[in-house]
Amino acid sequence: MADKTLRNKNWLRVASLLMALLLWFYVVNQGNVTSLGKTTAVTLQYHNVPAGLDVSGPDRVEVRIWGASGGASEIKAYVDLTGYDKGVHQVPVNLADVGGALFTSVQPRQVEVSLEALSERVMPIKHEIRQQPQPGYNVNQTLLSPDRCVIKGDAQVISRVTTVVAPVELGDVLDIAMLTPALEARDATGNTITQGIQIVPAAINVYVVVEKTQLNKKVKVVPQFTGIITPGYIAGETVIEPAQVSILGDQAKVENLSEVVTEPIDITGRTGDFSQLVDLVQPEGVSIVPDRVKVLVKLSSPSTEEVQLP
């Protein structure tokens, strides 16, 4: 009886082995695996990092797969840092189940992980204009919300940070805009620090007001006359008060102006000196201050002029 039981157990072992071999050959014949396996580099994830600690270690490990697999995106390699404290540790690498895989292995099987205490500082945020507005426009106002941030990371790295900036590009802004730039930490030489640091929040809102550039300058006033001067009279000196006025407007327009003119002054029928208030002709898009001047026109008759004897 005992011999029969032993033979039955041996037969079950042989049957199990045959079934495993048949399954192996079936999968191989489907073309999904090779006898050599497939090696893939995957990102190493860090799970359950202790609060208040910053982790540093390898970024990738190599995983070897025997069996069907959809690709590296489906392979999850990770280390579990539950229970670890500050310091350097040798931590085993774990693999999540890979669908369709018969066998899996990872190299290295354990990695060196460093856990360091996090440091943090509250810092003001400065905006930095990387691209200026279009020609003829300038920045009138900039508002950052929030205007402070918290930087976290390794104490040695945090100590190198001197400024946190919000870079903005204004090439397409013509009036009011809200931008959301990502913050950058800089050292004393202006280099960006990216490793071993976290900025909270990572991005902020920047409200920008861009306006057309206004230019203010003084130009001379030139009188305009209309009508026919009375026979026997000639025009003499013309005095304008004030002789210069201020103009304000778009930079491109104001730069091209060197004078402004009065509305036409009619001299028809005039037989002597006269003065009057005259409006100035206002160029489009330009303001004039004052917009009215006093013009004194002197007329004289040759017959009344004193004759100088030789």
Reduce the DSSP state of residue 242 to 3 states and report it.
coil
**CA–CA–CA angle 30, 34, 37 (5° rounding):** 135
- Mean pLDDT taken over the chain: 83
Separation of alpha carbons 32 and 51, rounded Å = 43
Exposed/middle/buried for residue 75 (C-beta within 10 Å: 0-12, 13-18, 19+): buried
Lateral strand order in the sheet of 205-212: 137-145, 205-212, 176-179
* Residue 67 CB coordination number (10 Å): 18
Residue 271, phi then psi, degrees to nearest 5: -130, 15
The pTM score is: 0.46
- Range list of β-strands (E), 108-250: 110-131, 137-145, 148-154, 163-169, 176-179, 184-186, 192-193, 197-200, 205-212, 214-222, 225-226, 234-241, 244-250
Say if CB 261 and CB 238 are below 8 A apart: no
pLDDT digits (tens, 9 = 90+) for 280-304: 999 888 889 999 999 999 888 765 4
What local confidence, expressed as pLDDT, does residue 64 receive?
Answer: 85
| Dist CA 233 CA 274 (whole Å) | 13
Exposure on the CB side of residue 49, measured as CA atoms within 13 A: 15
Cβ atoms 298, 236 nearer than 8 A: yes
The pLDDT of residue 254 is: 86
pLDDT band at 23 (very low <50, low <70, confident <90, very high): low
- What's the pLDDT band for 51 if we cut at 50, 70, 90? confident
Per residue in 209-266, pLDDT (tens digit) is 998 877 888 999 999 999 888 888 888 889 999 999 999 887 778 888 899 999 999 9
Half-sphere exposure (Cβ direction) of 242: Cα atoms closer than 13 Å: 11
Is residue 173 scored above 50 in pLDDT? yes
